[in-house]
Amino acid sequence: MHTLKFYKKNYLIIFFTFLVILNSCGIYKPSDARKNPTNADERVAKNMEEGRGFRLGNLAKGSNGTFQFASSNPLWRAALEKLNFAPLSNVDYAGGIIVTDWFSEGDTNEQIKITIRFLTNEIRSDAIDVVIHKKTCNAQNNCKVNKIENTLNGEIRLAILKKAAKIKNEDQKAAKKGKPYKIPGKSF
């Protein structure tokens, strides 16, 4: 009998807590039907603008079939094309990074490494970050690595962005003409 009273008290506490939570959410708040749109999509848009409600993205809508692969990303393709002069050490599309191996021109004790980090897939000025490291070694093979901050970083970024814009325009023109998408370096 004593446990039955204990359960009833717990249920009452949970019930009143639930009511307080629901009341603070504004569920019982009356609204004027004249101010609310009748179309469901318009109501959702209005609620989202006012900061009410939430969305789970396109989770309920299903997949629309647009996938972003490395061969279809103009920014990625442009970066690989512009870095074709250097040996690549790490190329990770999922991680959004391209790292060249150490390379130099001729017989010199200085080598450089270029790292490109992709911050977004959109072609814009802050889409990629270019970092250049310079390694200088002496005769005893003692090496010193420094990060280079000069105009070369910006020049590489600009060259990649220009090439990406050109690739994107070519892809859009080909799509308008109904031509199939061509993967660079492949002939079918």
Helix (H, G, I), strand (E, B) or coil at 4: helix
Which of 42-51, 100-109, 121-130 shows the lowest per-residue confidence on average (mean pLDDT)? 42-51
Q: Are 79 and 120 contained in the same domain? A: yes
Q: Are 171 and 98 contained in the same domain? A: yes
Residue 128, pLDDT score: 92
Residue 8, pLDDT score: 77
For the range 171-177, what are the long-range contacts, defined as Cβ-Cβ under 8 Å and sequence gap of 24 or more?
Answer: 171/74
Strands (E), the chain: 88-92, 97-100, 110-118, 128-137, 143-148
Average pLDDT for residues 109-117, to the nearest whole number? Answer: 92
Structurally, how many domains does the chain consist of?
Answer: 2
Place 64 in a pLDDT band, splitting at 50, 70 and 90. very low
Residue ranges making up the domain that contains 113: 70-176
d(CA 46, CA 174): 39
Q: Are 115 and 30 contained in the same domain? A: no
Q: Are 85 and 156 contained in the same domain? A: yes
Q: Are 12 and 97 contained in the same domain? A: no
Residue 139, pLDDT score: 81
- Give the predicted TM-score (pTM) of the model: 0.57
Q: Is residue 155 in a domain?
A: yes
